Structure 1
């Protein structure tokens, strides 16, 4: 529908020097004709449009409280306007650079360590010819996605806690000292990344396997006839076939670069690892929500959103320079 409207607006723009009612009516009738022809498609699109309007666009009005000393009993219309005071307080806070560093490092861990794993596993499973074994492995790596972070963190406490943790008990039985996996600033980031890998790798694998299922089998047959081995087929057929999917998912992930998640980090935090574990999401909860500074919380959220938007625009532009379609 967006393409139809854009095309119609282009036609209007081309004739803007000599506007007349006949041309305008012609454009309108053309749009109506296109909509009537594919009305089932637009009807199927309607629930998604309504969802985004209600839950994505209308709540943007609430961003105005980032510029207010928002008081719930006064509401948005009567709360005091403070301009950029909350942003100044955020950037001048002694905790800002610590929060930015911790959030960026955890996000980088997810990009460089977690993001490639679903691709690798999907490529490996794509080479498996035993369908029953393939489905079993997919189920095995996919199940953790349905577990809540409370359960996931509880599992890791059970395995890695210093007191009676299975991993530390094994280390001690082998003659090594116990390791403070959950309380150490050194191990906090690897543990958080390991939890993300264990929980979400299966979900990403499903997406890339779906992309791989669309590769034309005749390409592999032709490559085999030309003498290409498995590695050649992987490099010249499989990877180029899912490259656009990889690029799009990477761009979308960079859009939420500073969204490290609240629940997982909050459950892993304690007084010993807070120096490396405190991120924007937990800081907003502690200072903004518990402290009643709702305007400050909105300012932090807007800052994260702006950074995500900039990263999406930059990476999308970079992707197009390398010949990819991007997300728009």
Structure 2
């Protein structure tokens, strides 16, 4: 898959495509249906299947810390989209100037002149341009004028349900990982690089890998049974805490993972942490001794879960 970083990197060779536009947060089963249709149309027209997305996501630009938690960072999204046979990903820098251009400029300059769109799939609630003046009806009218088809994502439901990133966030917030997995079509995974932490876990006999989440808002909180893997590694089972670590006055939301039967050095390694089951909510403890006792219980609960899954 070719990644085009920014409108300024669109070249004449990129003219001519079938296109879909959106955040595609989580790249869930609903997204997969849309992309399958796009890939089929691309083969029909013998054109590349292209997806346009935005960094930051529009709500992050407008709402800041009040924006919904992301299900996937750009790096994770790239991997999932490549698996679905997207040929080109245009990642648009969602700046103030881009957000305030006119809807007609977006259509004529970007969709028609630069990309040469032949077939376009967007949500029927898709709005764009200054003051959100552009909408689905305007795109359909432009399609008739410039010679491209416009289709709504509403046409591609999963069963009778509309799978949404919002619904998945709600299930994750409740700790319903299996329900979220069914809608995603893949496990929910957090990724990041292992960094040096305060090493408090080591002092109480439970060393942890500290993973910077690089997110303003995290969609899950609590203690989880997890599977962890990195490039060329085995899959390791473990227990993880996602939260602010109130017992040690943590200030930022962090992912800490204790791996079972592992004592290697993975500092600097980029890891994938698959959440398997929620064990409990995060809570403060009166002392490190009380925290250690709870970690023992959490580890035992996670091991029991994995043991039951294996039997």
Alignment TM-score, normalising by the size of structure 2: 0.24
Query: Where is the strand percentage greater, Structure 1 or Structure 2?
Result: 2
The structure with the greater share of residues assigned to helix is 1
Q: Which has the higher contact order (CA 8 A, sep 6+)?
A: 1
